[in-house]
Amino acid sequence: MQKKIKFLMMITIIIYINNFAFAYINGYKTLIGVSALWAISPFLLLTIASFILASDYKKDYLIVKKEARISFILKVLSCIVAFYNYKFEIGSLEYIVRFVIIAILCIINVNLEYKMYRIAKKYIPKLDEEEVKPVSEKEKWNIKNYGRAATLGVGSFILVVTGGMNIVFIAQMSRYYGLICICIFIVFLKMNYDKNMLFYQDKVIGKRIFLKDAFYASLGFGYNCAVAFNFISGNDFIENTALIVGICFLYPTIVTNRKIALRQREVSKVIRDNFEYYYNDENNPYK
C-alpha cells in the first residue's frame, strides 16, 4: 500500500510540473501541430492517477477513499486552470493569479497525499481483504488472451483520446482530418470488441459489456463531432471543454480496462513460475 501511495505522489508531482510548464509556455507561444497534442497529456496522467479510486477492486484503498477523491478533484481543477485557453497577457495580474492557484492546489495536494502515506504506513491489512477470487484452470490457459486484451485496452484508449475524441481541435486544422478522426473511432470500437472477446469466456457477457461501453463512448464522440462540424454552435468554452466531456463518457471503458488489467495481474501471480507453460498454446487442452 505504501508503494502505491508513493507512486501516486510521483504521478501527482509530474502532473503539476506538466501544468506549470504548459501554463508558462502557452502564455507566450501558441502551440500548433504536433506540439498542440500536449493539451491531451493531463487526460492520460489523470487516468494513471485514477487507480487509487478503484476501491471496488482493491479493498485496501478504502482506508484513504475520502482523501483519494479530494486529491483527484484537486488535480482535475489544477489541469483545468493550467490547460484552459485563457487569453492573459504575460505578467498581468490574471496571469500571475493563474500560477498562484496552481501552486496552492499543488501544496494542498502534496500534503493531502503525504497524509494518505502516513495512514497507509499504519495500516495492517486483514486476511480476508487479501483473499483473491479463485482462478479457474480455463483462466490460467487464457492468460495469453488476457495480456492481449489488456494491451488492446490501453492502446485503444490512447488512440481514441489522441485521435478520436480530439476531433474538435483536429477538425480546426482541416475538415478532412475530422473524417480521419471518425475512422480512428471506428478502429477504437473494433479494438474494444476484440478486447472483450479475448477476455470474457462467456461471449454473451463480453458482447453486452462491449455494447454498453460503446454506447457511452459513442455519445461522447457524437457530442464532439457535433461541436467540430458546427451542429452545436459553441463559444470558446464549449470547444475547449468538448474533449473533457468526451473523456467522461469513456469512464465505462476505463472501468472495463482496469478490471481486465487487474484480473490479468491476479492470474499471473497464481501461475507464477508456470507462466511460460500456460502461455504456450501448444499445451492448451482447451484448444
Q: Each residue of 20-49: pLDDT tens digit? A: 998 888 777 766 666 666 877 887 888 788
Other beta carbons less than 10 A from residue 104's beta carbon: 12
Mean pLDDT by 10 residues, the chain (287 residues): 88 94 78 67 82 65 84 90 71 84 96 92 65 75 90 93 87 86 96 96 94 96 92 74 85 89 87 79 71
Do 246 and 166 fall within a single domain? yes
Output the pLDDT for position 222: 95
Do 187 and 158 fall within a single domain? yes
Do 24 and 160 fall within a single domain? no
Do 80 and 154 fall within a single domain? no
Other beta carbons less than 10 A from residue 215's beta carbon: 11
Do 113 and 144 fall within a single domain? no
Q: Could you tell me if 52 and 64 are in contact, meaning their C-beta atoms sit under 8 angstroms apart?
A: yes
Cα 258 from Cα 150, distance rounded (Å): 8
Do 122 and 242 fall within a single domain? no
Do 213 and 276 fall within a single domain? yes
Cα 239 from Cα 85, distance rounded (Å): 10
What pLDDT, in 10s, does the model give residues 146-172?
A: 999 999 999 999 899 888 888 988 888
Do 109 and 29 fall within a single domain? yes
Q: Which of 129, 156, 182 is the last residue in one of the domains? A: 129
Q: Which of 129, 146, 169 is the last residue in one of the domains? A: 129
Cα 234 from Cα 227, distance rounded (Å): 7
Do 9 and 32 fall within a single domain? yes
Do 191 and 91 fall within a single domain? no
Total domains in the chain come to 2
Output the pLDDT for position 48: 83
Do 255 and 155 fall within a single domain? yes
- Residue (of 36, 241, 238, 267) closest to 150 by Cα position: 267
Domain that holds residue 122: 2-129
Q: Which of 129, 145, 175 is the last residue in one of the domains? A: 129
233 by Cβ neighbours in 10 Å (0-12 / 13-18 / 19+) ranks as: exposed
Do 210 and 247 fall within a single domain? yes
Q: What angle do CA 178, 149, 267 make, to 5 degrees?
A: 155
Output the nine-digit C-alpha cell for 220: 461522447
